[in-house]
Every structure is written in structure tokens, then in C-alpha cells.
Amino acid sequence: MINYYLKQKIKKITSNPPTEIDINKSRKILFSIFTRYGDTIINLMVIKEFIECYPKKDYLILCPRQMKPYVTAFLPGVECKAFNKRNLFQMIKIVKILKKRKFDIGFNPWSSGLDSCFFISFCKKFLFYKDFAKPKVVNHYEVVRSYLQLLEKNWRIKKLKLKNNYKNILICPQSTDSKRNISRKRLDIIITDFQRMYDQPKIIIASSDKSFFRSGCKRFSFEKTPQSSLEFIKLIKKNELIVSADSGPLHIALALKKDLLAFFSTTTPEVVLNTGSCLAINKF
């Protein structure tokens, strides 16, 4: 029912893109972020750059409930309203807020769904991300910078030299795209190597798929709840080394400046990683 309503509303609306002058003159800016896990973290890091460029404005971020802890962690002090977009009563409440506050500009980076388009359509100027002409192959962070009209940055990374010893290791083998997963066979090899190299460290495996869990390793089960997100942020902070497939935890670890060993298969670091990242890379 909600999707049908949104479809009928959005097909009658065309983007009214803001210019750089519009952004400079604006007072209130809305970000609607309803996208995949990793893309959400990418958005937040570039939005942080945007806010640093335009600090004297009122900002509001709309997102799913399970993503609010990440907004709070990476953009402290920025107002965020998290809700279930499938809940009619919550949708009505958000619409009332948007009509009352009359935002000048709206953006929905990496969010092409009907819902995120609908929310920013209440702004005076907005560019639906689905209407944004982006190149086929370009760095994911740079796409958001271009969409938000930020200056382009040269891509470069720093190669991390792993330490001689780690006592606490978090492994995140799963991605929303199964092709990017660290295979179960490779996971077993990684665990065996770590146990040998680092003298039996404490290893935690974080996954929503129980088939990745291993005996002798602690477990963290991902759930789509704010509490699970909050616990996962704490988990990354307290572990010394993060091992991750190309997925959301990789971007969280980079944002928190943790020692990171990243595994890439179908994607390339040049497309996925933010400029200035420091990490060790394994391609397979």
C-alpha cells in the first residue's frame, strides 16, 4: 500500500537540482539515507566532509532505525530521525515534520528507492539520486562527493604493516553480496594462521549467517536492530585487528582508524576505498 502510494507520488515529480549558490544560501538541509549497509557508512563519511564545508546550517538525517547508532557515532550532534518506513503512522509523522520545517535542499546519496526520493521532494531544491548522472566505474566515496558538489580528491591509500602480535581479532567474513564473502575454506585458513602467528589470540566472528561461526571463536550475530548496531560499534572499537570482506564493517573499521586487513574478490580497492585509508589488502 505504502509503495503504491509513493510510486504514484514520485512519478509526478521531477528533480529540481540545487546549484552551489543554492547550497551556500540555504539554511536547512535534509539527507535521506535508505540504502545498503556499506553505502550508508560511505554516505556518512562524505556528509561529514559536507558539513565541515558548510558548518552553519541546520541538518536533518532520515534513516532506518538500525542505522541511527552509526549516525550518532560518526556525526555527533547532527539531528537524526530513524523510523520504520513501512509503518504508516511513522511515515505520516515524518511527512508532517518535513512539511512544517520546509527544508531548502534535499539529498539522498546512494538511495534510489521511492521512499528516499519521496522524503527529499518536500525540499525547495532537490536532486533524486536516481537522476544523478554518475559514471559507470568510479570510486564510491567520490560518487557521493560529486553528487553533493564537493571538490574531487585524488585517491591514495597507505599500506598498513601488521603488528607482530594481536591479542583481540574481529573477523567479518560476510557481505550483502555473497560473491564478496570470505569463503568458509579461506576463513578456516585465516583462523589457523592467526592462532599460529599470534599465539592463540581471542577471535570473534561477526555474521548474520551462522555457517561462518567456528568452534573456538566467539560469536556476534548481526541483527537489524539499533541495539545490535550499537554493540557492533563497541565490538570494533575494542578489538585490535579487524578482518573484513568488502562490506560495511570494512568502512566502519576505516572510519574508526582501526588496524584493518581487507579481502577483495569481485571489487577493487580503487573503487571501494576512501582516499587516505590505511590498511592491509589481500586480493583473491
Angle, helices 248-255 vs 37-53, to 10°: value is: 30
Q: What is the pLDDT of residue 125?
A: 98
What the block records as the C-alpha cell of 253 is 573499521
pLDDT (tens digit per residue) in 146-169: 999 999 999 999 999 999 999 999
Report DSSP state, residue 127: E
Distance CA 76, CA 70 (A): 9
End-to-end C-alpha distance for the chain, whole angstroms = 44
Pick the CATH number of 2-147 from 1.10.3720.10, 3.20.20.150, 3.30.565.10, 3.40.50.2000: 3.40.50.2000
Question: pLDDT per residue over 18-36, tens digit each?
Answer: 999 999 999 999 999 999 9
User: pLDDT tens-digit profile of 112-125?
Assistant: 888 999 999 999 99
| Mean pLDDT computed over every residue of the chain | 95
Q: Are 173 and 182 in contact (CB under 8 A)?
A: yes
- pLDDT digits over 233-283, tens only? 999 999 999 999 999 999 999 999 999 999 999 999 999 999 999 999 999
Confidence of residue 1 (pLDDT cuts 50, 70, 90): low
Strands 218-221 and 202-207 turn out to be: parallel
What letter represents residue 47's amino acid?
I
Helix, coil or strand: residue 19: coil
| pLDDT greater than 80 at residue 90 | yes
Domain ranges for the chain: 2-147, 158-283
Whole-number Å distance between alpha carbons of 95 and 90: 9
Could you report the per-residue pLDDT of 213-225, keeping only the tens digit for each? 999 999 999 999 9
CATH class of residue range 158-283: alpha beta
Predicted pLDDT at 136? 80
